[in-house]
């Protein structure tokens, strides 16, 4: 399998949808609705029993999507995600064991960082794009602005508390390449099979400027 780099994934659109899928039957139509709205990089979190099956189903049925797996915490998670067809991985924190497993599996990683020390450790590992998580709880835009000159050369995908309202503030920062957010796939719309509404939200998100 040819997998994109994390930079390629992050530059597909300004927003990476963060999806919690409880019902496997919703996975493919949800992915199609988001892709139709211009959001091709999709993060399926490993928070439900059907998450890996959802990744597998989307990877097979929605070829225009880059299906990523989120909430990676253990090396075994990486192996399972890669086997299911994920093309990139996202973790809430920074773990050398996790990165070793990802390298072995050939899975590009977007690890989470919350401090300059973690960002520096990731940089020493050769990573240039990192997830800033949880963004709002860790100081949000002012923190990333302060990191700009001190951590020159690193770019971030802030996730956690990011919404349509504050996403433009993040995307205006030169060291932010995209944002992660769940607002483009609200539970109510998914439950109601309102795929048109989700496509509208995706179009709105994909029109945000980076």
Question: pLDDT digit string (tens) for 129-178?
Answer: 999 999 999 999 999 999 999 999 999 999 999 999 999 999 999 999 99
What are the Cα distances from residue 60, in Å, to 27, 31, 157, 188, 199? 11, 11, 27, 26, 20
Look at residue 127 and tell me whether its pLDDT is greater than 70: yes
Which residue in 7, 8, 131, 187 is the catalytic one? Answer: 131
Using a 10 angstrom Cβ sphere, with 0-12 exposed, 13-18 middle and 19 or more buried, the burial of residue 79 is middle
> Is 109 in contact with 89 (CB distance < 8 Å)?
yes
Q: What pLDDT, on the 0 to 100 scale, is given for residue 210? A: 59
DSSP state of 154: -
User: Among 18-22, 25-29, 81-85, 206-210, which is the least confidently predicted range?
Assistant: 206-210
Supply 2's token pair.
């040819």
Supply 205's token pair.
């998100």
Please compute the mean of the pLDDT values over residues 57-75 and round it to a whole number.
98
Per residue in 1-21, pLDDT (tens digit) is: 789 999 999 999 999 999 999
Which residue in 43, 60, 169, 187 is the catalytic one? Answer: 43
Residues 23 and 173: their CA atoms lie apart, in Å, by 36
Look at residue 90 and tell me whether its pLDDT is greater than 90: yes
Look at residue 179 and tell me whether its pLDDT is greater than 90: yes
Catalytic site includes residue 118: no
Q: Which is the CATH superfamily of the domain at 6-206?
A: Aldolase class I (3.20.20.70)
Catalytic site includes residue 131: yes
């Amino acid at each position: 399998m040819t997998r994109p780099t994390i930079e390629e994934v992050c530059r597909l659109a300004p927003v990476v949808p963060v999806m919690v899928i409880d019902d496997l039957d919703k996975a493919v139509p949800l992915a199609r609705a988001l892709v139709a709205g211009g959001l091709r990089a999709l993060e399926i979190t490993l928070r439900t029993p059907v998450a890996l099956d959802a990744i597998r189903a989307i990877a097979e049925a929605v070829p225009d999507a880059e299906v990523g797996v989120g909430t990676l915490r253990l090396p075994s998670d990486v192996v399972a995600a890669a086997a299911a067809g994920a093309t990139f991985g996202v973790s809430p924190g920074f773990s050398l064991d996790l990165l070793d497993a990802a390298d072995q599996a050939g899975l590009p990683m977007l690890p989470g960082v919350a401090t300059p020390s973690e960002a520096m450790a990731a940089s020493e590992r050769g990573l240039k794009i990192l997830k800033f998580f949880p963004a709002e709880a860790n100081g949000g835009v002012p923190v990333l602005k302060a990191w700009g000159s001190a951590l020159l050369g690193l770019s971030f995908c802030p996730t956690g508390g990011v919404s349509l309202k504050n996403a433009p503030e993040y995307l205006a920062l030169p060291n932010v390449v995209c944002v992660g957010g769940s607002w483009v796939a609200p539970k109510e719309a998914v439950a109601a099979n309102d795929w048109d509404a989700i496509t509208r939200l995706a179009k709105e998100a994909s029109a945000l400027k980076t």
